[in-house]
Amino acid sequence: MNLLGLDRAGLVDFMRQMSEPAFRAQQIFPWMHQRGVTNFAAMTNIGKALAERLGERARVSLPEIVTEHLSMDGTRKWVLRLEDGNAIETVFIPEVDRNTLCISSQVGCALDCAFCATAQEGFNRNLTAAEIVGQVWLAEHTLRQRQDGAGRVITNVVFMGMGEPLLNLKEVGPAIRIILDDLGYGLSRRRVTVSTAGVVPHIDRLHEEAPVSLAVSLHAPDDALRTTLVPLNKKYPIAELLEACRRYVARDPRRRITFEYAMLAGVNDSPDQARALARLLRTVPAKINLIPFNPFPGTRFERSTDSVIDAFRDILLASGIVTMTRRTRGDSIRAACGQLAGVVKERTRRVVPIHVS
C-alpha cells in the first residue's frame, strides 16, 4: 500500500485496519506531504514500534525523475518513470505572482483530440492517486530543497497535463482532497483547476467530490467544427456541456468557468467565429483563455498569427467577456499545452472505449 495516495479519510481507515487510533493519520499525513518524509523511521512522533509495523505493510513511494528540462523562461518539465515502465510529464510554470504545477492524470489519453500531441500517444492506463500526488510531492519538495527550504513553492495546481482527469475521477478525487488538505498541500479550491474536454456527467460528480475551479476545452463555437476537433463532442454536444457548466457554478455566484480555445490558423479563428463564440457564452459565467496552438511533429495544424489572435480577443472583449491570450511557456522544451507526450507503453490508439457511467 502506497500511503501517498490515501486522502485523510483513507489514511484513517488504513490505521483502523492496523488497529491504530485515527490520530495516527493526523501525524503521518503531514510528515509525508508537508515535510516530504518517506521513511517511517524518520517520523519521530509515531514511535519505533509503529514505524516498524508500517514498514512491513506500507510504503511512501514516488515516481522516479528520469530527466528535468529547464526552459529559458523558467518553465521546468520533468519526465517521470512509473513502476510499470510508463513515463508521464509534469510541468512547473513560475510566474511573478504564482507558481503553477501542471500535472498528468492518465498515461496517454483516449480522447483523440485532433490538435493534441498526447492523443498521438494513445492511451495506456489511469494514474493512481499516489502517482498523481507523487507529481506534486516531487515538484514541491525538489524545488523547496533547492531554495534552502524557504517556504512553500507551489501555489496553484492545474490538471492540464496528459490525460482526461474526468475519466479518472476515482483517483483524481482523492488526489484533489490531498492537495486541498490543510495537512497536505493546503491549496484553496480556487487554486486547483481541473480541465476537461467535456465529460458532462462527471462535471456534476466533480462538484460533489471537490468543487475546484473548472476549465473546459471548447475550441469551437459550433458542434460541427467541435466534433472534428474534439471527438467527445459527438457524445456530449456543446448545449449539454454548457448546461453542465451552468450547474457547476450555479451555487457559487462569484465563480466562472474558464473556456480554453486553441487558436488554429484558418480553422477556428475568424471574426465570425469570435462573434459566434461570444453569443454562445452569453448565458454562462465565463472567461476565455485563448491558447496559441503549439505545434508538434506530424500535426496538420498551424498557429494563428498574433494579429488574428488579437482581433479575435478584441471581439470577445467588446462583447464583455473576460478574455486572455495564454502566454506560451516552455515551448523550447516541448512543455507547452498539448505538447506533452511521455512514454506510453503498448499504445492502444482509439480502440479504448470511453466508459462514462
Helix, strand, or coil here: 350?
coil
Give the angle 99-102-108 at the CA atoms, nearest 5°. Answer: 170
Helix, strand, or coil here: 101?
strand
Query: Minimum Å distance from CB 61 to ligand SAH?
Result: 26
Q: Is 337 a catalytic residue?
A: yes
Answer for the pair 327, 290: CB distance below 8 angstroms, yes or no. Answer: no
- Using DSSP bridges, classify how beta strands 87-94 and 76-81 pair: parallel, antiparallel or unpaired: antiparallel
Answer for the pair 93, 99: CB distance below 8 angstroms, yes or no. Answer: yes
Query: Minimum Å distance from CB 84 to ligand SAH?
Result: 22
| Residue 294 within binding range of ligand SAH, rule CB under 6 A | yes
| Residue 217 within binding range of ligand SAH, rule CB under 6 A | yes
Query: Minimum Å distance from CB 307 to ligand SAH?
Result: 18
Helix, strand, or coil here: 232?
helix
Answer for the pair 110, 289: CB distance below 8 angstroms, yes or no. Answer: no
Answer for the pair 160, 183: CB distance below 8 angstroms, yes or no. Answer: no
Smaller CB separation from ligand SAH, 142 or 328: 328
| Residue 31 within binding range of ligand SAH, rule CB under 6 A | no
285/342 Cα distance (integer angstroms): 35
Active-site option among 89, 131, 164, 260: 89
Active-site option among 102, 109, 113, 337: 337
Site mask for ligand SAH (CB under 6 A), range 141-180, x = bound: -------------------x---x----------------
| Residue 260 within binding range of ligand SAH, rule CB under 6 A | yes
- Using DSSP bridges, classify how beta strands 76-81 and 64-70 pair: parallel, antiparallel or unpaired: antiparallel
69, three cell numbers: 528540462
Answer for the pair 345, 82: CB distance below 8 angstroms, yes or no. Answer: no
Smaller CB separation from ligand SAH, 182 or 310: 310
Out of 195, 273, 304, 323, the only residue in the binding site for ligand SAH (CB under 6 A) is 195
Query: Minimum Å distance from CB 299 to ligand SAH?
Result: 7
Q: Is 121 a catalytic residue?
A: no
Smaller CB separation from ligand SAH, 111 or 343: 111
Closest-approach residue to ligand SAH (CB): 338
Site mask for ligand SAH (CB under 6 A), range 90-129, x = bound: -----------------------x-xx-------------
Size of the residue set binding ligand SAH (CB under 6 A)? 16
Give the angle 151-157-159 at the CA atoms, nearest 5°. Answer: 160
117/108 Cα distance (integer angstroms): 9
Smaller CB separation from ligand SAH, 54 or 197: 197
Residues 47-66 that bind ligand SAH (CB under 6 A): none
Closest CA to 96 of 71, 73, 76, 70: 73
Positions in the binding site for ligand SAH (CB under 6 A): 113, 115-116, 160, 164, 195-197, 217, 260, 262, 291, 293-294, 337-338
